[in-house]
Structure 1
Amino acid sequence: MKNIGFLSFGHWSPSPHSQTRSASDALLQSIDLAVAAEEIGADGAYFRVHHFARQLASPFPLLAAVGARTSRVEIGTGVIDMRYENPLYMAEDAGAADLIAGGRLQLGISRGSPEQVVDGFRYFGHVPTDGSDHAEMAREHAALFLDVLSGKGFAEPNPRPMFPNPPGLLRIEPHSPGLRDRIWWGAGTRATAEWTAEQGMNLMSSTLLTEDTGVPFHQLQAEQIQMFRDAWKAAGHEREPRVSVSRSIFPIVSDLDHAYFGHETRSQDQVGFLDGGNARFGKTYAGEPEQLVKELADDEAVAAADTLLLTVPNQLGVDYNAHVLDSVVRLIAPELGWR
Structure 2
Amino acid sequence: MKKIGFLSFGHWTPSPQSQTRSASDALLQSIELAVAAEELGADGAYFRVHHFARQLASPFPLLAAVGARTSRIEIGTAVIDMRYENPLYMAEDAGSADLIAGGRLQLGISRGSPEQVIDGWRYFGHRPAEGQSDADMGRQRTEMLLDVLRGEGFAQPNPRPMFPNPPGPLRLEPHSEGLRDRIWWGAGSNATAAWAAKLGMNLQSSTLKDDETGEPFHVQQAAQIRAYREAWKEAGHAREPRVSVSRSIFALVDDRDRAYFGGSREEQDQVGFIDEKTRAIFGRSYAAAPDALVEQLRQDEAIAEADTLLLTVPNQLGVDYNAHVIEAILTHVAPALGWR
- Matched to 1:44, the amino acid is G
For residues 213 and 244 of structure 2, the distance between their equivalents in structure 1, rounded to whole angstroms, comes to 21
In structure 2, what is the equivalent of residue 120 of structure 1?
A: 120
Does residue 79 of structure 2 align to residue 82 of structure 1?
A: no
In structure 2, what is the equivalent of residue 172 of structure 1?
A: 172
In structure 2, what is the equivalent of residue 144 of structure 1?
A: 144
- Matched to 1:216, the amino acid is P
Relative to the length of structure 1, the TM-score reads 0.99
For residues 142 and 231 of structure 1, the distance between their equivalents in structure 2, rounded to whole angstroms, comes to 18
For residues 211 and 267 of structure 1, the distance between their equivalents in structure 2, rounded to whole angstroms, comes to 18
Given that residues 193 and 228 in structure 1 are in contact (C-alpha distance below 8 angstroms), is that contact kept between their aligned partners in structure 2? yes
In structure 2, what is the equivalent of residue 320 of structure 1?
A: 321
Structure 1, 207-216 or 192-201: larger mean CA deviation? 207-216
Does residue 284 of structure 2 align to residue 283 of structure 1?
A: yes
For residues 7 and 210 of structure 1, the distance between their equivalents in structure 2, rounded to whole angstroms, comes to 21
In structure 2, what is the equivalent of residue 186 of structure 1?
A: 186
Q: For residues 137-286 of structure 1, what are the structure 2 equivalents within 5 Å?
A: 137-264=137-264, 267-275=267-275, 276-286=277-287
Deviating beyond 6 angstroms after TM superposition, the runs of 4 or more aligned structure 1 residues are: none
SS at match of 2:174: coil
For residues 110 and 3 of structure 2, the distance between their equivalents in structure 1, rounded to whole angstroms, comes to 21
Deviation at 1:319, TM superposition (A): 0.4
Relative to the length of structure 2, the TM-score reads 0.99
Deviation at 1:211, TM superposition (A): 2.1
Q: For residues 38-49 of structure 1, what are the structure 2 equivalents within 5 Å?
A: 38-49=38-49
For residues 216 and 304 of structure 1, the distance between their equivalents in structure 2, rounded to whole angstroms, comes to 15
Q: Per the alignment, do residues 55 and 224 of structure 1 end up closer, same or farther by CA in structure 2, a change over 3 Å counting?
A: same
In structure 1, what is the equivalent of residue 28 of structure 2?
A: 28
Given that residues 265 and 285 in structure 1 are in contact (C-alpha distance below 8 angstroms), is that contact kept between their aligned partners in structure 2? no
Deviation at 1:274, TM superposition (A): 1.2
Q: Deviations over 1:93-124 (max 9, x none)?
A: 00000000000000000011111111110111
Deviation at 1:85, TM superposition (A): 0.2
For residues 287 and 140 of structure 1, the distance between their equivalents in structure 2, rounded to whole angstroms, comes to 43
Given that residues 225 and 304 in structure 1 are in contact (C-alpha distance below 8 angstroms), is that contact kept between their aligned partners in structure 2? yes
For residues 277 and 81 of structure 1, the distance between their equivalents in structure 2, rounded to whole angstroms, comes to 18
Q: Deviations over 1:172-197 (max 9, x none)?
A: 00000000000000001111111110
For residues 229 and 133 of structure 1, the distance between their equivalents in structure 2, rounded to whole angstroms, comes to 27
For residues 266 and 82 of structure 2, the distance between their equivalents in structure 1, rounded to whole angstroms, comes to 36
Given that residues 48 and 56 in structure 1 are in contact (C-alpha distance below 8 angstroms), is that contact kept between their aligned partners in structure 2? yes
SS at match of 1:80: strand
State the Cα RMSD in Å.
0.8
In structure 1, what is the equivalent of residue 134 of structure 2?
A: 134
In structure 1, runs of 5+ residues without a counterpart are none
For residues 103 and 132 of structure 2, the distance between their equivalents in structure 1, rounded to whole angstroms, comes to 35
Identity of aligned residues (%): 74
SS at match of 2:35: helix
